[in-house]
Amino acid sequence: AQRVTQPEKLLSVFKGAPVELKCNYSYSGSPELFWYVQYSRQRLQLLLRHISRESIKGFTADLNKGETSFHLKKPFAQEEDSAMYYCALKGNTPLVFGKGTRLSVIA
């Protein structure tokens, strides 16, 4: 079975502090991992995917197959990063989403 776990419902950090949003997955094959973000009053949108290996808005995420993790990181949080973040997995079925972590960046 495919499963995505985001252990934190809410994460509060101060502006300028590092951010790490945790995502762990369960899948026996080679997964594709994604991070989606939903800003206040906006639509859910793709932030980044592991196959692109790129940095978007200062965020990066590395797939760690040994630890089955795909944590989202940013060295210096900005107020505009406050949003709901969802980790998603594509294995042999369509996207499976985690329940999301709300990031609150405090000025």
Partner 1 sequence: KAGVTQTPRYLIKTRGQQVTLSCSPISGHRSVSWYQQTPGQGLQFLFEYFSETQRNKGNFPGRFSGRQFSNSRSEMNVSTLELGDSALYLCASSLRAGASNEQFFGPGTRLTVL
Cβ-contact 68, 25 below 8 angstroms: yes
Comparison of 53 and 79: residue with beta carbon closer to partner 1: 53
* Closest distance of CB 80 from partner 1, Å: 20
Cβ-contact 33, 52 below 8 angstroms: no
Q: Take residue 32 and report the two structure tokens written for it.
A: 């594709």
Comparison of 1 and 107: residue with beta carbon closer to partner 1: 1
Q: How many CA atoms lie within 13 A of 83 on its CB side?
A: 20
Comparison of 96 and 105: residue with beta carbon closer to partner 1: 96
Q: In degrees rounded to 5, what are phi and psi of residue 29?
A: -100, -155
* Closest distance of CB 39 from partner 1, Å: 12
* Sole window of 20-28, 57-65, 66-74, 98-106 interacting with partner 1 (rule: CB under 8 A): 98-106
Instruction: Please list every residue from 34 through 93 that binds partner 1, using CB under 8 A.
Output: 43-46, 49, 51, 86, 88, 90, 93
Distance, in Å, from the CA atom of 74 to the CA atom of 31, rounded to the nearest integer, reads 23
Asked if residue 8 binds partner 1 (CB under 8 A), the reply is no
